Amino acid sequence: MALLAVAAALALPPNGILVVGKSLGGVRLGMTPAQVERVWGADHGRCRSCARTTWYFTYRRYRPEGAAVRFRRGRVDAAWTLWSPLGWRTRDATLAVGMNALEVNARYGALVAIPCGTYRALILTRGEVTTSFYLYGQKLWGFGIGRPGTSPCR
């Protein structure tokens, strides 16, 4: 029974928390692969066509919903939600995936919008972390964190 509890603790959180300017679902920029696995577990897929090592953590195999991390020089340089995982929200719970996109600007003011094909990213940079709010249509579709100056488009 204890082994099951440990395995459950080492998995992508069903209700991931974005801490603006700091972390996504407990993952921070600069973490090593071993540190990511301690937070989200070792059950992940690898992107075969990505220029940098990228891991996908999904709630169900071969389904797009979950989160991802990308590494540069053996450290996390970006993390983002995949698809639109319901239950993910900001730490203060003022924003959650699925909300009206206008709520992002109501909470953080006018943010820079970056077009990413069929969706767009509103970005907020604080210190060494850029937080992205992904919008699809009129909905908050997901979240991401990355280094300032890098593309938020995934």
Domains of the chain, by residue range, sit at 16-146
Strand 66-72 with 75-82, pairing: antiparallel
27-63: buried (b, 16+ CB within 10 Å) or exposed (e) per residue? bbbebebeebbebbbeebeeeeeeeeebbbbbeeeee
Q: What pLDDT sits at residue 4? A: 37
Q: What pLDDT sits at residue 62? A: 83
Homologous superfamily in CATH for domain 16-146: CAP (3.40.33.10)
Q: What pLDDT sits at residue 2? A: 37
Q: What is the pTM of this model?
A: 0.92
Q: What pLDDT sits at residue 7? A: 44
> pLDDT in tens for each of the 154 residues of the chain?
433 334 445 689 999 999 999 999 999 999 999 999 999 999 999 999 999 999 999 999 888 899 999 999 999 999 999 999 999 999 999 999 999 999 999 999 999 999 999 999 999 999 999 999 999 999 999 999 999 999 999 9
Using CA atoms of 104, 40, 118, 94 in order, give the dihedral in degrees to the nearest 10: -10
